[in-house]
Structure 1
Amino acid sequence: MYLKEVYVFDQNKPVKAVIRNYQETDFEQLIRVQQECFPPPFPSELWWNVEQLKNHVDLFPDGALCVEIDEKIAGSMTGLRVNYTPGEPDHNWEQITDNGYIRNHQPEGNTLYVVDISVSPTYRKLGLGKLLMQSMYEVVIQHGMDRLLGGGRMPHYHKYQDEMSAEDYLEQVIEGDIKDPVITFLLHCGRTPVKVVENYLEDKDSRNHATLMEWKKPFKQ
């Protein structure tokens, strides 16, 4: 099981954060975080439901992390293990995560695949998303996996779709000429782009594109 206590900063004030595995008693708070992250008109049926959350804690509890501030859940991150070979055919989010139910979790999988990361808007200036990501890297090392992998939305791509391809957009983000809320954040977290994937998820702003991004375990030769 995972437990880490660190200090994050609210401007200049240190604030204690606790990262731990979430449990069944946390489900109500985890759904609240989803509601805060994705308010209407986002469809409520796409928030976590109890069956999905129960699968997370039953099938791969080490991949179910939350972060607490003042004993209140401020964010969460969920992953499952899959077998991934670089260069294999494209997948979408629904296929690779079993639509968030992770019934396809492979206990000996070589890759930790990110299902979701959410931080309540109230706490987004504390760096909790990066903290959760770093914690999940530690899970990769703990289990001897090769990498962390996941698709990142490209929410500003719709502003540039008439000027450039999604691949060119990604290149501009990497060059620093465009700042994308998700891809730039993942670069800050140490993730590196693998490729752009079409029809990864239904996402109007990204025009259904995502960038597959990984973090490789540095100890693997």
Structure 2
Amino acid sequence: MINKKTKDGKYTITTATPADAAQMAEVQVVCFPTLAPHELLTEEHYANHIKVFPEGQLVVKDHDRVIASSSTLRIHFPKLDHSFMEITDNLWITKAHIPNGEWLYQFDIGVLPAYRGLKLSTELYNAQQELVRSLGMKGQILVGMTIGYGSYKDQYSIQEYCEKLKNNELTDPTITPQRKAGFQWIKPIFNYLEDPTAGNCSILMVWPLEGVSVEEYIGSNVA
């Protein structure tokens, strides 16, 4: 279990408890206002995640207030094309979580607007990577929403937007920081979720432990 201060000493990163579930759901609603309602995580979902895989659910707190959270499950490396609802067992993770899964899959992360720009997401990624090491896993997987697409939707198709992101011709509020945090681009997953601001798309990325070959898992059929 994790319980430590952020690098600046102002906030606390800790393993989530059932008492945090309601505030985690509040963070979700604020952070994803255009996500389809049936894909929003609720207090009940978060409480179940904590029950199924307690060490994989993290929060950042400002005193007693949850200001950021991240949710994960353990899986074996997934098929490259999958959806948010498929990978999370329709948000509950009960049937999707594999106790001896080799990869930590992050399916949710959110930081309240007033606390953005403080690298709290990076702190959460680092804490998750500590968990990967402590549990003897291969690495971490995430699927980052292309949330910046809304500013470019009149200029580019979502496919064109993703290609420009891949080539570093554009920056995205979610994808660019994740790449800077060490996640390697694998491919876009179109229709990963229902969010028009993101073009319904997210980018599959991976952070492998040193010595782990990503190519062994993904082959050459990536974009």
Task: Give me the TM-score of the superposition, normalised by structure 2.
Answer: 0.84
Q: What is residue 205 of structure 2 aligned with on the other side?
A: 213
How far did residue 159 of structure 1 move? 5.0
User: Which shifted more, 27-36 or 64-73?
Assistant: 27-36
Distance (whole Å) between structure 2 residues aligned to residue 210 and residue 46 of structure 1: 14
- Of 210-219 and 106-115, deviating more is 210-219
1:6 aligns to 2:6 (yes or no): yes
What are the Cα deviations for residues 142-184 of structure 1, in whole angstroms up to 9, with x where unaligned?
Answer: 1111121121111233555676564543342243321111111
* d(CA) in 2 for partners of 1:204, 1:51: 25
Q: CA deviation at 1:195?
A: 0.8
Deviations 1:11-36 (Å, cap 9, x if unpaired)?
A: xxxx4221111101112222232233
In 2: Cα distance, 1:5 partner to 1:155 partner? 29
RMSD between aligned residues? 2.3
Kept after mapping to 2: 8 A contact 1:151/1:210:
yes
Structure 2's unaligned 5+ residue stretches are 214-223
SS at the partner of 1:100? coil
Q: TM-score, normalised by structure 1?
A: 0.85
Cα distance change on mapping 1:34 and 1:155 into 2, 3 Å? closer
Indicate which of 106, 117, 139 corresponds to 1:114.
106
Please give the residue correspondences for 1:68-107 in structure 2 after superposition, counting only pairs within 5 Å: 68-84=61-77, 88-103=79-94, 104-107=96-99
Distance in 2 separating the partners of 1:2 and 1:93? 26
Does 2:40 match 1:52?
no
1:184 aligns with 2:173: no
Evaluate the alpha carbon distance shift between residue 29 and residue 206 of structure 1 in structure 2; reply closer, same or farther with a 3 A threshold.
closer
**3-state SS of 1:62 partner:** helix
Quote the sequence identity (%): 33
Count of matched residue pairs: 212
